[in-house]
Chain A
Amino acid sequence: MSKNLSEVLLEKFPGSVIEMEEIPTDHIPLNGDKWFEIALFIRDEPDWKFDSLQCITGVDLGEENGLEVRYNLHSMVHSHKIEIRIPLNRDKPVVPSVEQVWRVGDWFEREVYDMYGITFKGHRDLRRILLPDDWEGWPLRKDYEEPATYHGIAVPKEKEGWE
């Protein structure tokens, strides 16, 4: 099914699907540029009707591969599902926001921003959600280093006496 959708997307939005040597069966790798238009298309097109955004997951694939955002979509009408993956540049990760397509994306995107520093372009209220507003760094990135202090309180590094 994912193969069919990727063919449709290639036809409708040329250059949007990233071409790979082996065509993946369980997900569609997308180029982020037209993601907002594609999201609207797959939500409203009667054949697909992906009306429910299940989950947005940020991923750090390591030093060479950079970051990735993964969307799990589901259709309540047709009961089918799809996973969309958008690879991003580590230094300047920007992806169009789908917060206005699926309102549930609002908090999901804020969480991914909070943990990975990925900017969702067009999000109307992009702030940290789980961490304090003045937190520095993106904790779920693999190269994250814990700060030595927070508001003057030392963060204990030695586990001695804990166990």
Chain B
Amino acid sequence: MGIVHGDEMVLNIGPQHPSTHGVLRLVVKTDGEIVSQIRPVIGYLHRCFEKHCENVSYDQVIPYTDRCDYIASMNNNFGFVIAVEEMMEITVPEKVEYIRVIMAELNRIASHLLALGAFGLDVGAFTPFLYMFRDRERILDLFEMTCGARLLYNYMWVGGLSHDLPVGFLEKAHEFLDYFEPKIKEYNDLLMYNKIFIERTSDVGVLPTDVAVNYGVTGPNLRGSGTKWDLRKNEPYSIYDRFNFEVPVGKGQMGTIGDCWDRYWVRTEEMKESVGIVRQALNELPVEGDVHEALPKKIRPPKGSIYKRTESPRGDLGFYIISDGSPSPSRVKLRSPAFTALSALSVIAEGWMMSDVIAILGSLDIVLGEIDR
């Protein structure tokens, strides 16, 4: 921490602390109530993901990717399987593509619900958290009826899916969307336009665009700073080019562009867009098709490497995979969006008050499982 002057104090937050969204430790130098320096200490949840990958086959990597970003496991599966499919030049059936998009977008809604609820919790609003968990539960029910798991799915496989959609899924999904869409207004009335919440978040923790790009911040955090950048639009993968949706960017409605409130607002808008994408995908979903049809007998990508990124709820999720032609990957590197977002914490939060640091950390929406891997 360097030199600590007489009126300064070094404060340790974590690794066990409710506001750190996992086992994150922050070493903070404070001058009175003002935070002058922040050093995040990570690695408490390191589980050797990349080392494990080198010793298992490609299909066995997929359950490990679930456990990286355990809030949005579907999106992690998605990123890994399309990277391997591109290496092996597999084309999956239309039906599989549609189901993947439906699952990824539902998981995006679930992830944002948790992010927004936990953010409210961080700044002292307990009730919205319960409302959002109530509705997230309904998405988890949909996942459970599809693949049996509520959190760690192992649902998307290289070349297909583990299960087809069960009977009654379409009705249940439509029912959920009709139920959920008006609820977004309820959350906004409850939290986003709440006077206390606005006071706590507007103009706080402003992240300018150029700093965000330089620090590799992506996803809703970058869009909150006013940059229209979404891989689903800018570099469409899978079948995202077929859907109509907007990319919301922060406008500084309650203060400055790129403040905590903007990051919150972008996530609520994204949930509305995701609802739209799921609706379109459900309506266009082909009836015919076998989700196991394109599963390869052996997963052995040819020699070579690939860097493939997809838009996870937290931002650019990249997989760097090197194959030496054997059944297990020679190297798998996961470029995690939360890792880069956390590395920018010190530049955003230094100079703010202690309570604002917690709000800023909440607005970045980090998942430690993905940071520590």
Residues of chain A having any CB pair with chain B under 8 Å: 51-55, 57, 59-60, 70, 72, 76, 79, 83, 102-104, 106-107, 115, 128-132, 139-140
A55 and B50 CA atoms in complex are apart in Å by 15
Min Cβ gap A86→B in Å is 15
Task: Please give, as numbers and ranges, the residues of chain A lying within 8 Å of B51 by CB-CB distance.
Answer: 139-140
Min Cβ gap A159→B in Å is 13
A139 and B46 CA atoms in complex are apart in Å by 12
A37 and B309 CA atoms in complex are apart in Å by 27
* Contacts known (A107-B343, A129-B42); A57 close to B214, Cβ less than 8 A: no
Q: Which of B227, B322, B343 contacts A104 (CB 8 A)?
A: B343
Whether A115 pairs with B340 at a CB distance below 8 angstroms is: no
B244 interface residue per 8 A CB criterion: no
Task: Please give, as numbers and ranges, the residues of chain B lying within 8 Å of A130 by CB-CB distance.
Answer: 42-43, 46, 372-373
Whether B213 pairs with A55 at a CB distance below 8 angstroms is: no
B: contact size bracket? 20 to 34
B335 interface residue per 8 A CB criterion: yes
Beyond the given pairs A132-B43, A140-B50, 16 more chain A to chain B contacts, judged by CB atoms under 8 angstroms and listed by A's residue number, are A55-B318, A57-B320, A70-B320, A72-B318, A76-B213, A102-B216, A104-B214, A104-B340, A106-B343, A107-B339, A107-B343, A128-B43, A130-B43, A130-B373, A139-B51, A140-B51
Min Cβ gap B224→A in Å is 16
A115 and B372 CA atoms in complex are apart in Å by 13
Whether A52 pairs with B343 at a CB distance below 8 angstroms is: no
Whether A55 pairs with B214 at a CB distance below 8 angstroms is: no
Task: Please give, as numbers and ranges, the residues of chain A lying within 8 Å of B322 by CB-CB distance.
Answer: 59
Q: Which of B214, B318, B343 contacts A54 (CB 8 A)?
A: B318
B232 interface residue per 8 A CB criterion: no
Task: Please give, as numbers and ranges, the residues of chain A lying within 8 Å of B373 by CB-CB distance.
Answer: 130
Whether B307 pairs with A52 at a CB distance below 8 angstroms is: no
Q: Which of chain B's residues 348-373 have a Cβ closer than 8 Å to chain A? A: 372-373
B48 interface residue per 8 A CB criterion: yes
B134 interface residue per 8 A CB criterion: no
Residues of chain B having any CB pair with chain A under 8 Å: 42-43, 46, 48, 50-51, 54, 213-216, 227, 229, 234-235, 305, 307, 309, 316, 318, 320, 322, 331, 333, 335, 339-340, 343-344, 347, 372-373
Closest A residue, CB atoms, query B217 = A104
Min Cβ gap A98→B in Å is 12
Task: Please give, as numbers and ranges, the residues of chain B lying within 8 Å of A107 by CB-CB distance.
Answer: 339-340, 343
Task: Please give, as numbers and ranges, the residues of chain B lying within 8 Å of A53 by CB-CB distance.
Answer: 216
Whether B48 pairs with A54 at a CB distance below 8 angstroms is: no
Whether A57 pairs with B48 at a CB distance below 8 angstroms is: no
Whether A52 pairs with B213 at a CB distance below 8 angstroms is: yes
A139 and B178 CA atoms in complex are apart in Å by 50
Closest B residue, CB atoms, query A106 = B343
Whether A54 pairs with B309 at a CB distance below 8 angstroms is: yes
Whether A54 pairs with B43 at a CB distance below 8 angstroms is: no
Whether B216 pairs with A54 at a CB distance below 8 angstroms is: yes
A132 and B372 CA atoms in complex are apart in Å by 12
Task: Please give, as numbers and ranges, the residues of chain B lying within 8 Å of A139 by CB-CB distance.
Answer: 48, 51
Whether B227 pairs with A129 at a CB distance below 8 angstroms is: no
Closest A residue, CB atoms, query B41 = A129
Whether A55 pairs with B43 at a CB distance below 8 angstroms is: no
A83 and B213 CA atoms in complex are apart in Å by 18
Whether B339 pairs with A59 at a CB distance below 8 angstroms is: no
Whether B216 pairs with A52 at a CB distance below 8 angstroms is: yes
Closest A residue, CB atoms, query B334 = A55
Min Cβ gap B38→A in Å is 14
Min Cβ gap B13→A in Å is 18
Task: Please give, as numbers and ranges, the residues of chain B lying within 8 Å of A106 by CB-CB distance.
Answer: 343
A115 and B218 CA atoms in complex are apart in Å by 25
Min Cβ gap A48→B in Å is 15
A94 and B48 CA atoms in complex are apart in Å by 24
Task: Please give, as numbers and ranges, the residues of chain A lying within 8 Å of B318 by CB-CB distance.
Answer: 54-55, 72
